[in-house]
Structure formats: structure tokens, C-alpha cells
Structure 1
């Protein structure tokens, strides 16, 4: 763990942040270590420095670090300490935002499923919530404490909670008191664990949110992307002393499946940044580089319509999903250069990836891969989990039908979030939450026909009252108006799918759900961009590394493959296709295709 020869003094002054007694402006950019392959951390941090920044900020995703209570995983891409060490080695400072709730368009807002299913009141003064939060924060702070700036490390600031003023816990005086107790408890945990650097909160600069989201002894910062002068004025009204800071300066936005790719103009973002800096404010660019929701990590929103977040977290950021500088990067750099000296030279632009093609060489219908007895009961289980207690994103629910002499309606109370319905192995329809689709018609069939429902969790809601909801088949499952009883519920360990042996060779078409394999021959490890246009809906892996979901409805048309996950020579691509394709080929494109925009 590299450290400065001696600790440095960093504190909050009456007008400025003070570093060793001198005014210090924080110029920061967000890099989520968990959304970037660790083999690319240093590249992204160096790009931040080249932009003229002096600090890197990150959230910490509790649910990834602790999929089971009592453990704290820090291997591979979750090594927060290693990430902070690279930040220090590159001469940068760091801001850590551990939550515990982080939102971040991340599955369940970063809260572990074992916690949200416990029945504890979330984000409030409830022992059922605060006790595991303390366990988690103390593990995070074991990593952060020795890396604080006053101990020779890079960490300048630690955030308490996250946009807490927007969280609705009730409006009565008892609720307000419970909120204050909760924030005070988080401060006590943080200070008790050895955090000595200044503590901050962040909220959108409205009177209500700024009042509800902080405490007098915490430094309040803002989150916004426009009207910077007005927002800073509101922030100053609530906090007469101390440095102004926008700790989430939104320069883009995230995307949902079935919608468009969000963009903002470079000129827009550059103008608002110039206003911020001209007012003497410190800033954290959200996002400097969005990265990718690898695996099954993306979240969702639900304000009457369920909207799952896509795999790409490009965010129209200054560095695109593959880490290449964009026009926005250069526009922001020009602005920053008016206020600080910039590093010399230029970052290399995007490098075209190789255009490759490989046929699917083997496949097996997904239902033939079930090798677990599952759980038997009268009703299908919701929120299935592995034997070790961690949640699964894929499940199969199986029963035997009593039969019907005529076409009959099969229905569920609610589907979370998408299900393929099969009768004796033949696909008959799809149930889809975002379309409020809860029924399909089954053809006439004899008693004893096998009914399978393959359910995919498309991402747990990360914001609002539906945080922590159950997944699967919810409510009564009926056939012809009569409830179906006697189910086998099987959770699928997605981590084992890339290694499954497949039995059918060189298919000419694929009818989903099906698991398929192809081999890409690559001359050297470089970034790849898998073309998903010929596929329906599913998940892809390369060399066992889960790249995430794809879906024909878009907007994104590529899956980003970091070169650190690619090998020279043979690269095995595994595809779980839920719908089907008449063109079972794996192809790559020379670059990202993030889909259509509003313009």
C-alpha cells in the first residue's frame, strides 16, 4: 500500500478545502471499480489525471462484497484496497462513498438481498438494518482507514448515506427524529471505525432535500447537471460557510431497455462546468467513465412501469464505455485548463477492434441442463437462492398440468421480471413485467403434460418504494381459473453455465431457451465488441467472464469485452439465448454501438 512519507492535513475551512493549510479545489471524476475490469483500472485513472482532475471518486457495492451475511469478498474486480492503491500510485486523491445504500442504477441499490428480505425497515433507525450496516461499514473502513490522507494515503473525504433527503420515511416529527438518529448513528460508526477525514452528504439542491438529508456537522454537497449558478446559491443558503461542491455533476444519463440512448451535448456540459468552476466550487464529474454492468448487476426503476437498466453504463461520459476519450472529454478538458495547468500530451483515441466471425459449434436446450432437485412445495418459491444463500437471477418453475381439452389461459398474479413458458419442452409464450403481461394461452394438452416457466430477474429496483422486492412468480398461478399447486422451484447458478458440456453440434438455428457455444480466434488480447443484432435476448460470457445481458429491443447493439478478459488464440463465447435465432453466429464489430438517440 503506497503512502506519502508522512500524513497530510486535509480539512474544511470557512471558504475552501484546506490541504496542508492552503486552499485546495477538488477536481474529481467518478470511476466505479466494480464496473471496470481491474485490468483497465490504471488506464481509466490515468485518463482522469490527463483531464486535469486530481481526485477519483467511487461508490462501494455492499451486495457484491457481501452476497451472504458475514462475508466480505475483495477478490478480482472487488479489491477496493488495490483500486485505491492504484489511485495513489498515479498521484491522485480519492473520495469513498460506501452507502450502505448507493442507488447508482445498481441491482437493489447496492443492498444485499439477504438484508432486504429480512423485514427490517431500510435506511432508518432500525436495529435490524443498522446492525448489519455496521458490520459492513466496519469491513469497508478496515480498507479505507489506513489509506486516509492524514496517514499518507489518497482518501480525502468519506460520504455518509446517499441522497438521503430524497428518501421518503414519513413526514411526522417521529420520522424526522428517527432520520436524525439514523444519520448520527452512521457518523458514530464511521468515526468509531477510525475515519478521521471530513464527512460529507449529497442531495439535490432543493430546500426539502437539503434539510432532510444531512446534519449540521456534516459537509453538505449537491447533485445536479444544470442551472449550476442557481443550485450553488441554494446550497450556500443552507450552508453559509465552507467550500461549495457539486459531488455529482451529471454530464450524461443512464439507459433503459427499449428506450433510446441518452446523450447531452459537449457544449452543454462544458458550459455548466465552467459556471461551477467560475463560482469557485469543487466538483466531481458523474460519470467520468461509466463502464459496464457486467453479469447480472444492473438495476431498474419502477414508477408504474418497470424499466430495467441496460448492460452498458456508458452514461454518455467523457470516457466512453471502452475508455476512449470523446468530444465531451476534450470540451471539459478545455474548460478545466482555464483553471489549472494540464498534463502535456494527448490521450489516444478509440482503437478499432478486429472484425471476427465464429459459428455456434454446440448447443443444448436449457431445460436439459437442470441438475438440481430444487425445492418442492404447493406454490412456486419467490426469491430463490443458491445453497449458500446468495440470490440467483435465473430460475425454473416446473409442475404437471391437470390437462385441458381446449386452449386454456395460464396466468400469474405478477411476473418479476420476464418468463418463457414451455409445455412439454415447447415454447408457448412470454410473460413480461414491463408490458404488464401476466397470461398466455396454452394449447389443448393431456393431463400430466410438463409445464415449465423459465424466469429471469432483469434487475432489482434501485430507487423508490419497491426497493428490496421479491423476484419470481408472485401471486397465484392459475390454469383456466383454477390455482395450480405442486411446484418444483429450481434456482440456476449462472456461474456454472459457461462450463456446462453441450451435446448438440453445429445447429443451423437456435430455439430458446438454449445454451450455445462458439470459439473466437483472436490474434492478441484487445478490446472486442460483440455484435448482438442477430440474437434475441439473453446473456453472454467470454472465457467464463460474464459480459451481461443483451436484448434485441435495444438501445445497445454491442456487448463490450475488455481486452483484459481476452486471450491470444482461442476464446470461448457462451450464449444463453432465451428467444431464438436463425443465424447462430458470434460476430464482433470494430467499435461500440449504443443505439439510437432522441435526435
Structure 2
């Protein structure tokens, strides 16, 4: 039994001063087979602690339905860290940011258009209470006060970047404590007056997050809390990427030098990220400052351990910084995970989305186009269909508040894209006999940070032809979680101008990690043996999708691609190199 406490300006474990050298690793971004590999690399780099968020939307995907298996088996992750002799910091805040879909909040909260998240709003608090009744019961036995490795837990995440509702923060704190959480509780915020004033709570340890100028950040922390230890809960040593940007990198020595400076001062540091991992499936988040910016599938973050688990120059620079500060012994790494080239092959089986609709969805009829959340859908795509009477002269078709990117079809012929950026309208005309209008909307990831957090998906207001709103819609939810129901056809002209599912197979003799390269493909998702690897988009910077070996099996493996546009070919390569540029 042990307890981490604050004594004056010292962080103490069982009464003895301790310096936490922690690294962030998110269990939900790594296949469970590799948890031990990543945690071992953290330990041999010289770290004594691992930090992880807990995303609410992963653990309660549907209201009242809980998931703690596979990628969501947080208890097994904590047990693994404990077995390796690492302390654990857990951040189970209802909101986590983390460049994760909706900042970890479950999408079903938004079925209530009046929902007010991250505030003292009783309907929101009621949902948290129900979730925490389940979650805290699972975490409670792993606390250091009960012989486990968890030494500290967070009550909210960078709350001062969002609001200043102290009653809400106190409610979360009290809710954790009344459910048996008795380890050290803390908050973490950016190093500005506004953020620290809004996000901290009397009687709770305050920490700061930053990527540079530690003395300046800690001076501000001390201004508000002059008797508190200096703790950086997120030292940003790299950064994440949005679609259409270049891959972010940070000089390894620059990151290591800033880190070493904090260690020499005696500060405790959580290295964010030590290993980033992957936004599998539809779990990437998005930012919205001047415009909507969805995050890519890779969460490499330019870390000491790459997305694929490889040692990087930053690892060695960081380890050297720690080694100058304390004895960490000789470097003994686990055996490297093999990378494999499984060759190039064609996906010859196809079925276009319009032919597939009745196999994987069923329509609901509504006067108005409703959002995903109102229809009980979390992620993926949604198709809206109506009949346009004719004749009508050419006029603009406008979608009011589309979230996020819509493909427009008239009589199943592609007309163009309307999105939440600059593509606002498409001119169409309707023949005398009328026409079928189909609008396929892609949810590209809910916003995870800032004032636009309430990011409802689909068509959120209405559709206008000229100035006239259109009514009487059939709506098909397409979460893409039941594609085993598809019946494919093999033909010589498999390339389609419509959104299409392409299926193929490849042989595996020896299992290893590999990377899906998609030359000539435009935009979509890739599933291997039913597991959604995530999104691809030709605009980059990500040019390959990481395919971890544990998702493969010896013998025949299935690959399915849902492509929104017309690809140049149907060729896929499985190569040994990950391409981020």
C-alpha cells in the first residue's frame, strides 16, 4: 500500500520525495498484443511511470452498453504496466481531448439538441454518474492505496481552455471520491492566466501543459499556487497531423534538451506522447479554429517510439537525457517486431453502394433530414434520399450545415461535393419526369477541442433547391460495422464512378507488421479481416495505413475497401515501409 501526496513543494510517495518521469501511451491506440512491447520500451528508456487517458466513447459506445474487451481492456493494460514495475497515472475525465473523436465524449449525448457538455447541467451529469458507477468500480482495485500501480487520477482535462464552471469541476471530484477513489487527484491546463484561472480547483493539485519554455510556464503556475510542486502533465515533444498538412516533426535534441532542463530542476514530467499509436476505425478527432481540420489516421506524433513501435532518434536523445540524471542501466530492448512485404494484388470483387444499401441498412422516413445522433448512429456515413419533381431549371442545391463532406447524386450519377469548407452549392436541373436525389454524407470526426465541441453530424438543418427547402426523406445509416452481409460480384470492369466496396484477399505465410499502400485510390476506409484500419485520403500526409501483425492470420486474409470516388485502379500493395510526408 502506498500513496502519492503533496508535501509543501515536494511530490512524495510514502513520505519520501519522488520525481515522476512519465510517458503517455494510450492503450486504445495500440493492439493489445503490443501493449507489453510499448511499455517495455518506455521502461528501458528510463521512465518510471505510464500515463493514459480513458475515452468514454470507447467504453460506453451505446448508452448503457459497456465495452472493456480488446482495445478497451484498460484493466489488462494497467496489469501489464504493474507487472513491469511502472507507476500508472490515469486520466478518466469525461472529456479527454487527445485528438480523439469528440474528445472522448460519446456521440449519443448529442441526440439531445439541448445537451450542454462539460458544465453543471444535470442531464449531462446524470450520464456521467451512470458511466462512473461502472468505470470507477473497475479502476478502484488498481489504486496504489489498495496495492495497485495507479498513483494519481485527473478530474477534468484542460478545462480552462473551455470554461470556468467550478461547480462542475467540484462535482466530478466529489463523484470520484464517493466512488472510492482516494489517490492523488489533479487538474492540467495550458500555461496562461485564463486557462489556469478557469481550469483549477481549490484543494486539487494543479499541473501545466506545454512544449517549451518550462521556466516561464512554471513561474505562472507558482504565481497561482506558490506552495505546489512543478509538474508538467503534458510535455509536447511532437505534434499531430491534419489531412492536407505536412507531417509534423520536432528536432530530437531540442525536445531532449527541454526535457533534460526540467529533470535537472527536479520537476516531474509526463512526456506527451512517448508512443502515439493509431486512430483505428472512425476514432480520429478534429480541430476547428478558423476552419474544420480533421486529424489523420496515424497518431505517430513524432514520438520516441514511432506509430509502428520502432525506436527513433528521439528515443536515444531522451534516454541519454534521463541517463545523465539517474542510473538507468544498459539498454536492453525487446526483440524487434518483423515488417513484411506481402506483395501487390488486385481487388476484383465489387458492389456499389446503391446496390448494397438493402444489405447493410434500412431506410427510415422523415419529413426533415435528421442528424446521425438523432437516428442513433455514431460514426461512418449516412445517405439521404428524396424525389425531386420536374421539370426544374438549373439552380443551386444547397445543404444547410453539412457535417462534414457530402457527395451529391442525381439518378445515381455523381454531381459533385458539398462540404463544410468552401464547396457550398452544386447547380443541378431536374427533367420533366423528376429525379432521385441522393446525398451521401461522411462524418470525418467530431471536433475534440475548443468552443465548437458540440459537433453534430450529417445534414444538421436542411436541403434547399434554389430557395425552397426539400422534404420527405428516406435516410440510411451506414456505420460500416456489418459489411460481412455484402454480396460481391466479380467482373472485368470493376472500377466504378459511384461509391463502391472492393474486396480481395492475400496470403500470409509468416505474420508480421505491414503497411497498406493505395496508389491511385482517392478517399475511403480499409478493413482487414473485418477490422477497420481507418481512413485514407489522397491529399496526405499519410500515404500508407499501418496494419499490425496480430490482425493477420496464416493463410488467406480478406481486405475490403470502401472508396468514395473513382480510383485509378484497384491495386493494393502491402509493403514494409510506413509513409508519412
Q: TM-score range by the shorter chain?
A: over 0.9
- Match of residue 246, structure 1, among 229, 232, 252: 232
**How far off is 1:516 after superposition?**
0.6
Equivalent residue, structure 2, for 1:110 = 104
Q: How does 1:415-494 map to 2 (within 5 A)?
A: 415-433=402-420, 435-442=421-428, 445-494=431-480
Equivalent residue, structure 2, for 1:175 = none
- Match of residue 142, structure 2, among 141, 144, 147: 147
**How far off is 1:374 after superposition?**
1.7
List gaps (5 residues or longer) in structure 1.
1-6, 170-178
Equivalent residue, structure 2, for 1:126 = 121
Is this contact kept in 2: 1:298–1:308, CA < 8 A?
yes
Equivalent residue, structure 1, for 2:365 = 376
Are residue 397 (structure 1) and residue 377 (structure 2) matched? no
Equivalent residue, structure 2, for 1:161 = 156
**How far off is 1:390 after superposition?**
4.6
Q: How does 1:188-203 map to 2 (within 5 A)?
A: 188-203=174-189
Rounded Cα–Cα distance in structure 1 between residues aligned with 2:3 and 2:289: 45
Is this contact kept in 2: 1:498–1:541, CA < 8 A?
no
> CA 1:405–1:234 in structure 2 vs 1: closer, same or farther (change >3 Å)?
closer
> CA 1:444–1:185 in structure 2 vs 1: closer, same or farther (change >3 Å)?
closer
- Match of residue 570, structure 1, among 548, 556, 561: 556
Is this contact kept in 2: 1:259–1:555, CA < 8 A?
yes
Is this contact kept in 2: 1:414–1:438, CA < 8 A?
no
Rounded Cα–Cα distance in structure 1 between residues aligned with 2:3 and 2:385: 62
Are residue 265 (structure 1) and residue 251 (structure 2) matched? yes
Rounded Cα–Cα distance in structure 2 between residues aligned with 1:16 and 1:559: 44
Rounded Cα–Cα distance in structure 2 between residues aligned with 1:340 and 1:72: 42
Rounded Cα–Cα distance in structure 1 between residues aligned with 2:460 and 2:65: 30
Is this contact kept in 1: 2:287–2:447, CA < 8 A?
yes
Is this contact kept in 2: 1:420–1:455, CA < 8 A?
yes
SS in structure 1 of the partner of residue 482 of structure 2: helix
Is this contact kept in 1: 2:372–2:382, CA < 8 A?
no
> CA 1:570–1:458 in structure 2 vs 1: closer, same or farther (change >3 Å)?
same
Is this contact kept in 1: 2:91–2:153, CA < 8 A?
yes
Q: How does 1:320-335 map to 2 (within 5 A)?
A: 320-335=306-321
Structure 1 runs, 4 residues or longer, greater than 6 Å off: none
Is this contact kept in 2: 1:384–1:491, CA < 8 A?
no
Is this contact kept in 2: 1:392–1:491, CA < 8 A?
no
For the aligned residue pairs, the C-alpha RMSD in angstroms reads: 1.8
Rounded Cα–Cα distance in structure 1 between residues aligned with 2:374 and 2:470: 23
**How far off is 1:139 after superposition?**
1.8
| CA-to-aligned-CA distance 1:511-552 (integer Å, 9 cap, x gap) | 230001111212222111101332100000000000000000
**How far off is 1:116 after superposition?**
3.3
Rounded Cα–Cα distance in structure 2 between residues aligned with 1:463 and 1:432: 20
**How far off is 1:443 after superposition?**
5.0
Rounded Cα–Cα distance in structure 2 between residues aligned with 1:489 and 1:390: 12
* TM-score of the superposed pair, with normalisation by structure 2: 0.96
| CA-to-aligned-CA distance 1:263-293 (integer Å, 9 cap, x gap) | 1110110111011111100111111111111
| CA-to-aligned-CA distance 1:96-140 (integer Å, 9 cap, x gap) | 001111111111111112223322322122211112112222322
**How far off is 1:21 after superposition?**
2.5
| CA-to-aligned-CA distance 1:112-169 (integer Å, 9 cap, x gap) | 1222332232212221111211222232211211001121111010011011111135
Rounded Cα–Cα distance in structure 2 between residues aligned with 1:66 and 1:365: 32
Is this contact kept in 1: 2:241–2:247, CA < 8 A?
yes
Is this contact kept in 2: 1:204–1:222, CA < 8 A?
yes
Rounded Cα–Cα distance in structure 2 between residues aligned with 1:80 and 1:420: 38
Equivalent residue, structure 2, for 1:288 = 274
Rounded Cα–Cα distance in structure 2 between residues aligned with 1:239 and 1:405: 68
> After alignment, is 237-246 or 485-494 more displaced?
237-246
Q: How does 1:494-505 map to 2 (within 5 A)?
A: 494-505=480-491
Are residue 65 (structure 1) and residue 59 (structure 2) matched? yes
* TM-score of the superposed pair, with normalisation by structure 1: 0.93
Rounded Cα–Cα distance in structure 2 between residues aligned with 1:404 and 1:255: 46
Rounded Cα–Cα distance in structure 2 between residues aligned with 1:162 and 1:66: 19
> CA 1:251–1:512 in structure 2 vs 1: closer, same or farther (change >3 Å)?
farther
**How far off is 1:591 after superposition?**
1.4
Is this contact kept in 2: 1:360–1:506, CA < 8 A?
no
SS in structure 2 of the partner of residue 331 of structure 1: helix
List gaps (5 residues or longer) in structure 2.
none
Is this contact kept in 2: 1:539–1:575, CA < 8 A?
yes
> CA 1:498–1:321 in structure 2 vs 1: closer, same or farther (change >3 Å)?
farther
> After alignment, is 556-565 or 472-481 more displaced?
472-481
SS in structure 2 of the partner of residue 212 of structure 1: helix
SS in structure 1 of the partner of residue 347 of structure 2: strand
SS in structure 2 of the partner of residue 421 of structure 1: strand
Are residue 560 (structure 1) and residue 555 (structure 2) matched? no
Rounded Cα–Cα distance in structure 1 between residues aligned with 2:486 and 2:281: 17
**How far off is 1:346 after superposition?**
4.3
**How far off is 1:414 after superposition?**
2.4
- Match of residue 10, structure 2, among 16, 32, 35: 16
Q: How does 1:529-544 map to 2 (within 5 A)?
A: 529-544=515-530
Is this contact kept in 1: 2:3–2:151, CA < 8 A?
no
Equivalent residue, structure 1, for 2:86 = 92
| CA-to-aligned-CA distance 1:390-435 (integer Å, 9 cap, x gap) | 52421111111213465442221122111111122221111122x3
